[in-house]
Amino acid sequence: MNDLLKVSIEAAINAGKKILEVYENEFEVETKTDNSPLTEADKRSHHAIKDALAPLNIDLLSEEGKLLSYEERKNWKKFWLIDPLDGTKEFIKRNGEFTVNIALVENGYPVAGVVHVPVTGKTYYGSAEAGSFAFTYDPNSSASIEDYINNASKLPDAQAPAVYTVVASRSHNTPETESFIEERRKQHGEVESISSGSSIKLCLVAEGKANVYPRLAPTMEWDTAAGHAVAKFAGCNVYNYETGKELEYNKENLLNPWFVVERN
């Protein structure tokens, strides 16, 4: 698992470099069949990750790869689940709140995950064996990936917020989310709300900077698997809003149910 994590961390950081090559210049925006945006950065990141992980001979499902039928993937016991650029809308807005997500899923649940924020270099990773950690990658440093891993901070690296804090989506807030926050306000009194884009929201709960992240709006499996791993192995629950059960992956329909990320 340590070797798989190292390779996936390296892949995420290198994909982030490919994304920044596009981000720092003018770029065109295409529209996919589901009306979501697509840029050259999404494509470059996808190919960089796919090439990096290919020698490991583990099945791979990527948002920007071939959309495989359930028949083709239903018997997968282990596979990579990837979003090469999570938060394309934030990328287009140039607010920096987008990530590279790489998760390793076994028997329907993430067992390892990496979330890398290209603009800041902040890199979160976690596994069932080791727990969750974070470091900030500096492209101008001579430090190796091993150096970063050896000096990473264990999560959570912050005390629980003094005021109960809810993190919400920058681009996809809903009336249901507002109702959720109001319910928590009744329970906890004062409630602070913070916003962010992409899978950074799951990582804010993992870090201890927020108590809960309700996602009462649509997401896909590749949006959440890596952040799910980071949050889970940092001591958080990632559960179906309706059933209370842990979020599952490689379903026939890759659309996630509404879910909540909450620190125990």
List the pLDDT tens digit at each of the 264 positions of the chain.
Answer: 789 999 999 999 999 999 999 999 989 999 988 888 899 999 999 999 999 999 999 999 999 998 899 999 999 999 999 999 999 999 999 999 999 999 999 999 999 999 999 999 999 999 999 999 999 999 999 999 999 999 999 999 888 898 999 998 776 678 999 999 999 999 999 999 999 999 999 999 999 999 999 999 999 999 999 999 999 999 999 999 999 999 999 999 999 999 999 998
Max CA distance (Å), the chain: 52
Same domain, 38 and 121: yes
Is 30 marked as a binding-site residue?
no
Q: Is 87 annotated as a binding residue?
A: yes
Single pTM value for the model: 0.96
Contact 101, 225 (CB under 8 A): yes
262 has binding-site annotation? no
Domain of 133 in residue numbering reads as: 2-154
The answer to the question of residue 81 being in a domain is yes
| Residues 101 and 201 placed together within one structural domain of the fold | no
- Is 96 marked as a binding-site residue? no
Same domain, 220 and 109: no
Q: Any known ligand binding at 85?
A: yes
Question: Residue 86 annotated as binding?
Answer: yes
| The two structure tokens encoding residue 261 | 């990320």
Q: What is the CATH number of the domain that holds 195?
A: 3.40.190.80
> 148 and 79 in one domain?
yes
Same domain, 89 and 196: no
Rounded to the nearest 10 degrees, the angle between the axes of helix 2-23 and helix 40-53 is 160
- Number of structural domains (the chain) is 2
83 is in an annotated binding site: yes
Tell me: do 16 and 129 sit in the same domain: yes
CATH code at 92?
3.30.540.10
Positive or negative torsion for Cα 190, 194, 199, 200: negative
Q: Are residues 149 and 169 in the same domain?
A: no
Residue 159 domain-assigned (yes or no): no
